[in-house]
């Protein structure tokens, strides 16, 4: 009885804080940035077509970070309004 109550409370807390959703978003972001780094290191894709691959790399990473930040702000404001 006590164990089921504890599990229920922990499940509610995890659901409320959205730890799983946040973890999935974090992992997705991490994998996207890793892929970008591999493309840059191998000079493939858009990196082989440019005269300044370092500048392109910084631009692409900054665009991604900006998009992630905007999404985080949106979700945080949405969560605060609920």
Domain membership of residue 5 (yes or no) is no
**Cα dist. 47→30, 39, 72 in Å?**
20, 7, 28
pLDDT digits (tens, 9 = 90+) for 46-78: 999 999 999 999 999 999 999 998 988 887 787
Quote the pLDDT of residue 82.
66
Domain membership of residue 2 (yes or no) is no
Domain membership of residue 11 (yes or no) is no
Domain membership of residue 4 (yes or no) is no
Domain membership of residue 9 (yes or no) is no
18 φ, ψ to 5°? 55, 45
Tell me which residue range forms the domain holding 41: 18-81
pLDDT digits (tens, 9 = 90+) for 2-30: 888 888 888 887 777 777 788 888 899 99
The whole-number average pLDDT for the span 27-55 is: 96
Domain membership of residue 32 (yes or no) is yes
- Counting the structural domains of the chain, the total is 1
Q: Burial letters for 14-47: b for 16+ Cβ neighbours within 10 Å, e otherwise?
A: eeeeeeeeeeeeeeebeeeeeebeebbeeeeeeb
């Amino acid at each position: 009885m006590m164990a089921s109550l504890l599990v229920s409370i922990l499940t509610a807390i995890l659901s409320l804080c959205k730890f799983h959703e946040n973890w999935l978003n974090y992992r997705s972001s991490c994998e996207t940035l890793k892929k970008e780094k591999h493309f840059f290191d191998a000079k493939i894709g858009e990196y082989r077509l440019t005269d300044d691959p370092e500048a392109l790399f910084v631009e692409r990473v900054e665009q991604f970070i900006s998009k992630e930040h905007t999404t985080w702000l949106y979700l945080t404001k949405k969560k605060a309004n609920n």
